[in-house]
């Protein structure tokens, strides 16, 4: 299953979902901070989002574990169908109760083991290396190109081949790329590379 972030064009989650609906299988809500504006927008758009032919993941806020938990609770209380909640291992995250949909992402400077892991190729190549012993816990992979110390660019064959070592058969693949043309190019590269394995 292939997905994309909710930031292809300036606009709302629904604006971006409508663009992505016929390109990917799922959209990752980028919820980088939790505030009333974000909460109101999501509440307003959820019914229309559910009408689209898309599944959803949620990248929880990055600023604090408390805000990540508030966003998590919002989606859970709304009974919105979420495949995975992507969580950065921020200070204090283990002090909160999460469910089986939480997946912890590897960061450039920090990797914390969890039963469900998110493998980010950019963080892996530009920072700490993802441990081999965690590979079987990967449920989601974040793919993008990485060149000259820069990530979140269109995927290239070399980076795709490295990523293949970490993508499990049951993993979903999310392209963290913020351009529609680069997304389409990256999907093509990924399909070409993954079909050779």
Domains and CATH numbers, the chain: 2-194 (3.20.20.150)
Q: pLDDT over 90 for what percent of the chain? A: 96
Predicted local confidence at residue 47, as pLDDT: 98
Is 197 a residue whose pLDDT tops 60?
A: no
The rounded distance, in Å, linking the Cα atoms of 32 and 49 is 19
Virtual CA dihedral for 74, 178, 174, 145, nearest 10 degrees?
A: -150
Predicted local confidence at residue 140, as pLDDT: 98
The rounded distance, in Å, linking the Cα atoms of 183 and 188 is 9
> pLDDT tens digit string along 69-100?
999 999 999 999 999 999 999 999 999 999 99
Which ranges of 21-153 does DSSP label H, i.e. alpha helix?
Answer: 36-51, 65-77, 121-126
DSSP assignment of 108-133: SS-----SSEEEEHHHHHHSSPPPGG
Which of 85, 104, 86 has its CA nearest to residue 94?
Answer: 104
Which of 107, 128, 127 has its CA nearest to residue 117?
Answer: 107
Q: Please tell me the pTM assigned to this model.
A: 0.96
Is 125 a residue whose pLDDT tops 70?
A: yes
Predicted local confidence at residue 195, as pLDDT: 85
Q: Which residues pair with 155 in a beta bridge?
A: none
């Amino acid at each position: 299953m292939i997905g994309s972030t909710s930031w292809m064009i300036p606009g709302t989650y629904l604006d971006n979902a409508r663009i992505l609906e016929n390109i990917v299988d799922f959209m990752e809500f980028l919820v980088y901070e939790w505030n009333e504006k974000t909460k109101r927008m999501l509440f307003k758009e959820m019914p229309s989002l559910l009408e689209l032919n898309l599944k959803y993941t949620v990248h929880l806020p990055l600023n604090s574990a408390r805000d990540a938990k508030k966003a998590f609770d919002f989606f859970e209380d709304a009974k919105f169908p979420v495949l995975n909640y992507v969580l950065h291992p921020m200070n204090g995250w283990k002090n909160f109760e999460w469910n089986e949909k939480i997946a912890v992402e590897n960061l450039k400077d920090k990797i914390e083991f969890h039963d469900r892991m998110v493998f980010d190729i950019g963080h892996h190549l530009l920072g700490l290396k993802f441990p081999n012993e965690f590979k079987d816990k990967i449920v989601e992979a974040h793919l993008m190109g990485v060149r000259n110390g820069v990530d979140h660019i269109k995927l290239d064959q070399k980076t795709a081949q490295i990523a293949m070592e970490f993508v499990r058969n049951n993993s979903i693949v999310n392209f963290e790329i913020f351009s529609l043309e680069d997304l389409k190019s990256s999907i093509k590269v990924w399909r070409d590379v993954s079909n050779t394995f």
